[in-house]
Amino acid sequence: MTNSIESLPTPRHPDPSDAPSLRWGIIAPGGIANDFTDAIRMHTRQKVVAVGSRTLERAAAFAARHGFERAYGSYEELVADPEVDVVYVASPHSEHVAHALLAIAAGKHVLIEKPMAVTAAGARSIAAAARAAGVFAMEAMWTRYLPQTDIARQLLADGMLGDVEVVTADFGGAAPFDPASRLYDPALAGGALLDLGVYVVSWASFALGAPEHVFATGKLAPTGVDAQVALVLSSPGGGQALLSTSLLAGTPSLGTISGTKGRIETDAPFWGPSGIRFQSRGGTELHWVDPYGRPYRQGMSYEAAALARYISEGLTDSPLHPIDEAITTLATIDEARRQVGYLNVAGGAQ
């Protein structure tokens, strides 16, 4: 197959407004839930109809801000609402398993913020429950549903990169140390890998599949969580991924995939709507810049629309990011956290 190319592939299903409408309930009305709700209100036909929080006052304030009425002072009431089709689990990731299982037991489809659990074992429990209940369950790895990612997917599928040999990705942000914050508290499964590193490990999985070997080195915060980690992943086919994540310093947030025929370089940030560049071994260079006007977290509208399409098609798993892949990504993170000395991998929250 030649890697001659005159233009980059067109993203498939770029407009999230074409997806069937579902009625959404929100578990935990924090910052990510606020941005998700704004994104789907602005760019899709999805409807947030209810929210649950640990306090009725907090739920009512969120509902008023976003223009709907049903607010509940418990998560149990939220998942019991017969007008809710799908639950978005937006709580701290230490609570994802409990809240996802609660929604699944009520017969609701679930979109679970990434990481869907804090260990692979926790993710397996969600997968098993969803399959037994016959409901749709998906990790909210929204990068997989972005237009630029679909361009990369088509270039890989068409053999335009040849054999993939080297994958890189970084995601770091400077977060002042606060032992009580979600990022640094081991009781809340804090640390760089689970908060930011899940993106870089997922990028490597997208390009190379599950790794055969994991090598990690890092630096721990005073609370014992990983503050910074560098990883080398080796795939069964011989390709390698060089990844980094940090709570100590901001990094460019770039992703690359390099093969024997060409390479992909993303614009920043690789995990949100930006752009993508392809360069062939022969010197052809093409650059696509996202034209759709859904910047930063507005790109979460794509994952919500994808979920709605999949459910309308009778699917119970995402073809672009299967739940088993989310599990293997967490297995990689489990091993990396073990190697850097994170204290809470085996015995902590799932």
Residue 280 covered by a domain: yes
Quick one: 209 and 328 in the same domain? Answer: yes
**pTM score, whole prediction:** 0.95
The amino acid occupying position 321 is H
Of 126, 142, 158, the last residue of a domain is 142
Predicted pLDDT of residue 344: 58
CATH value at residue 218:
3.30.360.10
Quick one: 96 and 108 in the same domain? Answer: yes
The amino acid occupying position 37 is T
Residue 312 covered by a domain: no
Decide: helix, strand or coil at residue 197: helix
Q: Are 112 and 137 in contact (CB under 8 A)?
A: yes
* Residue range 172-230, pLDDT digits in tens: 999 999 999 999 999 999 999 999 999 999 999 999 999 999 999 999 999 999 999 99
Predicted pLDDT of residue 285: 94
- Residue 341 has what DSSP assignment? T
Predicted pLDDT of residue 206: 98
Residue 311 covered by a domain: no
Decide: helix, strand or coil at residue 240: strand
Predicted pLDDT of residue 3: 52
Count of domains for the chain: 2
Quick one: 290 and 203 in the same domain? Answer: yes
Regions of the chain short of the pLDDT cut 50: 1-2, 346-350
Neighbouring residues of 246: CB distance < 8 A, sequence distance ≥ 6: 172, 173, 192, 196, 227, 228, 229
Please compute, for residue 52, the number of CA atoms within 13 A of its CA located in the half-sphere on the CB side: 20
Residue 95 covered by a domain: yes
